[in-house]
Amino acid sequence: MSEPTNNLPYTLRSIYLRNSSVEIAETFDPTIPGQMLSAIFRTADGRVDCKETTFEQNNQQQIVRSCAVSSRFEFAYISGDPNNPPQSDEEIEKAQIAKITAEITADYLYNREIFPSQEDLQKWAASNAMLHSWPYWREYCHSTLLRMNLPVTIIPMIQFQEKAAEQ
């Protein structure tokens, strides 16, 4: 028996903050106005964990299939000449005066009997799951900047870059 075509395979169950950290360099004073700061945004590909859970409810065995996609987000302020920004990760780390990182998990019920391939899961993590998690990251980063007494930078709406065609 084939499954209905309008039944989407994923149903968003929950989005939550799994891990976070904040830091301000000991040598930086956020109360001094007019400091030259540049913002850097970074994300990392999502880690996907799919599992099948069996339990009993009302004397009947139930099976729940779920996939949790955890994505890592980072915002950093760096000091220095905005016309000559650091290029390498090492240079960025040296110039960094404040950093906010968060790992946000989007948890989905999976409505099929067989989990998709790892490749398909990674595509989902890099597109739909990132799209679902991004507003939570934007709000978390914005409110954390306020709490750290740092200038608030509006986190942009998510934009996906087209990957170069494989040759």
Q: What is the pLDDT of residues 1-56, one digit of tens each?
A: 444 445 679 999 999 999 999 999 999 999 999 898 999 999 987 899 999 999 98
pLDDT in tens, 89-127: 898 888 999 999 999 999 999 999 999 999 999 999 999
Q: How confident is the model at residue 139 (pLDDT cuts 50, 70, 90)?
A: very high
For residues 47 and 87, give the distance between their C-alpha atoms in angstroms, rounded to a whole number: 26
Q: Do residues 10 and 123 touch, judged by C-beta distance below 8 A?
A: no
Residue spans of the domains in the chain: they are 10-147
- The CATH fold assigned to 10-147 is Bacterial Protein-export protein SecB (3.10.420)
CA distances from 48 to 37, 64, 132, 152 (A): 35, 16, 14, 31
Share of the chain above pLDDT 70, in %: 90
The pLDDT assigned to 161 comes to 62
Distance (Å) of CA 60 to CA 13, 55, 56, 65, 109: 22, 8, 5, 16, 19
- Quick check: 25 and 12 in contact, CB under 8 A? no
The confidence score (pLDDT) of residue 51 equals 96
